[in-house]
Chains A and B, each alone.
Chain A
Amino acid sequence: MMILLFFVLSVICVGSVLGMIISKNQAYSALFLVLAFSCLGGLFGMLGAPFMAVVQIIIYAGAIMVLFIFVIMMINLRKGISPERKKWTLAVSAVISVVLLAELVFAVLGTPPMPYTAAFSSGTSPTDIGRLLFTKYLYPFEITSVLIIAALVGAIVLVKKREKE
């Protein structure tokens, strides 16, 4: 049953990512991405990481993608940029992607199989994660707030209008 679910979810996930890349309309791309994120959320849930699953759907598929779609609607690009590529760049990128795929396959083959639950051996409920965030990972957690301030200030600086003009 789990195996079946896994394959269904992965096929939909990979398919929707492909659809995202191929489709010419940005709004469709964004919706495909939502589908991909939802499937990823399902996969995380199957791995026994309920928190990741929920976050994947609430934050990524929900908040961030809604923002994306807003932006796409506001900018209102009807046509995608016409694919006017040179032949040789296409060939080069094809070769590079094949090499990367081969590298990845070798890396996976060269790795001994890991115990299935090793990564999630300890508790993965939101309570456990919250406790970890405020004890063991307090320092990185606080740095994240500095990061967000920097991003906020940076974004405001870049888009605000100058007073004197």
Chain B
Amino acid sequence: MKVTQISLFLENRKGRLFDVCTLLGKNGINIRALNIAETDEFGILRMVVDKPDKALSVLKANHFVASVTDIVAVEVDDRPGGLANVLRIVTETGLNIEYMYGFVESRTDKALMVFRFENPDKALDVLQKNGVSVVGSSEVETL
């Protein structure tokens, strides 16, 4: 039920993000969720795409520095306090979030969030036991 996230090292150079998106677009790869963590000189672009294997090989073939990470995608009620409900479980069960971000799409009354947990396997287990709706990679790919 874990989802593959692709991380890209991007130096702080004009047009670099444009290069990535152009390349993915030309290869028919759709970005589902995306986030950038940046410092003064470089950034890390994190994304969930519909075809992670293909995206990785295309990016590497074009000399991008890329790696994959397991993340957990969670459905959150799209209403005030929706995210808080999930975070309450996370806090009470002592799970540690390294970072999180939202999906581009939402479905009906649910919003999709991406979590990178310190221990993804444990997190998956705990969340499911607490009735949180976790979304698998096949669902992400067919959104």
Mutual binders A and B:
no
Which residues of B line the A interface, CB within 8 A? Answer: none
